[in-house]
Structure 1
Amino acid sequence: MSFTFSKERRGYHILDDAGVLAIHDATMKLMGEYGVRIFGQEAKELYRKAGCDVDAGSHMVKFPRDLVEWAIEVTPGTFTMCGREPKDDFVLGDGTVSFTSFGTGLQMFDIETGEVRETKTEDLENFARFCDAIPEINAFTTAVAAQDAPGPLKDFYEAEAIFKNTTKHAILDAENGHNARAIIDMGIAIAGSAQALRERPFFTLCMCPNSPLEIHDGASQVIIETAKAGLPISILSMGLAGGTTPATLAGTFVVTNAEILAGIVLTQLVHEGNPVIYGSSTTVMDMRRATSPVGAPEHGMFGAMVAEMGKYYDVVTKVGGT
């Protein structure tokens, strides 16, 4: 199987055609010879039945190249992100750029008191209403965490706060499969039926791998439950070059690519043709402060790599940052 390069090359490019091929080939070698650590029995069984080499003791899954490339091939290159109302619909993968809020902040500057404090449900509600009113923002991502909510219920408080305060497409977090299923049930109640939600999914569930090269049990469950429901999935890798991933940009991006593709394979094994967003908020590690500088120049360079690979694979892409 081979992919093709887009003739249209606008904007900033960090990878030429040879560089894209080198990243892809190195990723296939990494996934095939070393593998990705996958937790979750159902996920591992799906991989095994598809021809992957699954080590039960180490949880390492090695991927045949043809399986990975099949999953890329069947992933839609364009799809509609539906709002609760058709006026809020927008298309991903049509060559235009869309915008969403960044997530998920844990602290904020309180404009009333001038203090920095932990975020709460009311803040999320306010952010949702604010973004709902801005036409340039196409979708709403969980901007801040509802840290005043009881721990096990946080995902539900956040989903409710968003559903009640914007009709735009929502990009939501779920800690595990149980929470994902419950949020999907909330969506079914709003849409009127499971079929209505499948036909016009007004939210996406987001899953983040653990860099380097790990998908934890909760994340694999989120993929499975979301794909079963036929809803879009955002797979967002968040490596730190020089920290959790190699110090070189190319080395880190190979790891990033492998993490995302492992999630895409699982998605398509559950529901062939399911919408997936190939996402990254990968950046470099600030060695002095041990922080994740999303405003670093290298973060933008990784974003450009994501765009290049997305065009080559013909999949929808998403990058985070400032």
Structure 2
Amino acid sequence: MAKPGLRFLSDEDVQAIHEAALLILRDTGVKAHHAEARRLLADAGATVDEHSRIARLPERLVMESIARTGKRYVLHGRDPHRTARFGYGDRVWMSSPGQYTWIDSHTGRRRGATVQDVRDAIRLGDALDHIHIVGAMGQPEEISEIGSDIFLMGELAKGTTKPTRCWVRNGRTAGAILEIYRAVAGGAQALQQRPMAEAFLEPISPLQLPEHGLDIVKAFAQAGQPVSIGPMAMTSATAPGT
């Protein structure tokens, strides 16, 4: 049975956006704040200006990369029967990896998140059938930002058997977080065969790729884990309002 849906763009609209994107990548380029990433882009055929850190990507490189990129993957939880499938037509729902402030349900006032909030939120996400990926929902004030992502990943590993998502701070903490996933999965090879982690690259709009974000992508890709990329644009500020 066909699934109902809404379509806002015609085939011609989609093609126009695609062609405009190719022109921007070719002529304007992207600023990559990562020396190794710029080197890899240059080796692949991009025109790289080291002074400005801008890489201009020819259409051939873009289209070949799209063709080689995986179109679907499955994230696995500690329980092998609890998964989240991407690219299969499934709707995947996730609780937030964590916000700094909450609105207290008892007082109605804004306050900082706590460790207990995080533990309660993880248990709630684990129990709700319509949540497929569990996040910590809070960034507790009691934990230093320097290692908060590692702490929260530990709480997620203990508190849910579903797939998980946490914000990753940098390449160093990415390594520690991947070690947690390897321990849960049963080793590096097991984690590659049944991915449990997903890197989330947050570009800086417009057209910049941050150094720490690319370090995280590198660590997760080397561990055989998928990567997703968000637009991260601010409406009417760094992107159009329509």
The reply to whether TM is greater than 0.5 is: yes
Distance 1:167 1:126 in 2: 15
Q: Which residue of 2 aligns with 1:68?
A: 62
CA displacement 1:207-231 (0-9 Å, x = unmatched): 2111111111001111111111110
Query: Per the alignment, in what secondary structure is the counterpart of residue 237 of structure 1?
Result: coil
Q: Letter of the 1:27 partner, please give it.
A: A
Which of residues 146, 150, 153 in structure 2 aligns to 1:152? Answer: 146
How far the C-alpha of 1:204 sits from its partner, in A, is: 1.6
**2:142 aligned with 1:141:** no
Preserved contact between residue 97 and residue 134 of structure 2 (Cα < 8 Å) = no
Contact 1:108 1:116 in 2 (8 A): yes
Aligned to 1:234: 228
In structure 2, the CA distance between the partners of 1:65 and 1:147, relative to structure 1 (3 Å rule), is farther
For residues 145 and 63 of structure 1, the distance between their equivalents in structure 2, rounded to whole angstroms, comes to 37
What percentage of residue pairs aligned between the two structures are identical? 29
Change in 2 beyond 3 A, CA 1:15/1:141 = farther
Q: How many residues align?
A: 241
Q: Given the alignment of the two structures, is residue 192 of structure 1 paired with residue 191 of structure 2, yes or no?
A: no
1:124 corresponds to: 118
The answer for the alignment partner of 1:115 in structure 2 is 109
Q: 1:113: Cα distance to partner?
A: 4.9
- Residue 88 and residue 156 in structure 1: after superposition, are their counterparts in 2 closer, same or farther (change >3 A)? same
**Deviations along 1:136-181, whole A, 9 cap, x unmatched?**
1111134222332112111111111211111111122212111111
Distance in 2 (alpha carbons) for counterparts of 1:147 and 1:70: 45
Aligned with 1:48 (options 39, 42, 50): 42
Question: In 2, are the aligned partners of 1:121 and 1:157 still within 8 Å (CA)?
Answer: no
Partner amino acid for 1:93? G
Contact 1:82 1:88 in 2 (8 A): yes
Q: Could you tell me how far apart the structure 1 residues matched to 2:80 and 2:185 are?
A: 13
Bigger relative CO (Cα 8 Å, ≥ 6 apart): 1
CA gap 1:121/1:236 in 2 versus in 1, 3 angstroms: farther
> Can you list the C-alpha shifts for 1:273-322, whole angstroms capped at 9, x where unaligned?
xxxxxxxxxxxxxxxxxxxxxxxxxxxxxxxxxxxxxxxxxxxxxxxxxx
Answering whether residue 8 of structure 2 is matched by residue 11 of structure 1, we say no
What do you get for the CA RMSD once the two structures are aligned?
A: 1.7
Match 2:162 to one of 163, 168, 171: 168
Aligned counterpart in structure 2 of residue 206 of structure 1, from 188, 200, 203: 200
Aligned match of 1:285: none
Relative to structure 1, is the Cα distance of residues 196 and 103 closer, same or farther in structure 2, using a 3 angstrom cutoff?
closer
Which contiguous aligned blocks of 4+ residues in structure 1 show a shift greater than 3 angstroms?
Answer: 111-115
Residues in 2 aligned to 1:213 and 1:9: alpha-carbon distance in whole angstroms? 35
Distance 1:44 1:54 in 2: 7
| Matched residue type, 1:106 | Y
Q: Aligned equivalents of 2:58 and 2:3: distance in 1?
A: 31
1 CA distance for matches of 2:68 and 2:58? 16
Unaligned runs of 5+ in 2: none
**Contact 1:188 1:196 survives alignment (8 Å):** yes
Partner AA of 1:133 in structure 2: A
Question: After the TM superposition, which of the residue ranges 142-151 and 227-236 deviates more from structure 2?
Answer: 142-151
With structure 2 as the length reference, what TM-score do the two structures score?
Answer: 0.93
Alpha-carbon distance in structure 1 between the residues aligned to 2:34 and 2:158: 33
Which residue is 1:29 aligned to? Answer: 23
CA contact (8 A) 1:142 1:172 kept: yes
SS at structure 2 position matched to 1:180: helix
Counterpart amino acid of residue 80 in structure 1: V
1:266 equivalent in structure 2: none
| Other-structure match for 2:93 | 99
Residue number among 198, 219, 226 corresponding to 1:225 in the alignment: 219
Equivalent-residue separation in structure 2 for 1:69 and 1:124 (angstroms):
42
- 2:79 aligned to 85, 97, 112, which one? 85
Looking at structure 2, the residues matched to 118 and 238 of structure 1 have their Cα atoms a distance apart, in angstroms, of 24
Query: Post-superposition shift, 1:38?
Result: 0.5
For residue 103 of structure 1, report the CA deviation from its aligned partner.
Answer: 4.4
What is the distance in 2 between the residues matched to 1:146 and 1:198?
A: 31
Shift of 1:96: 2.3
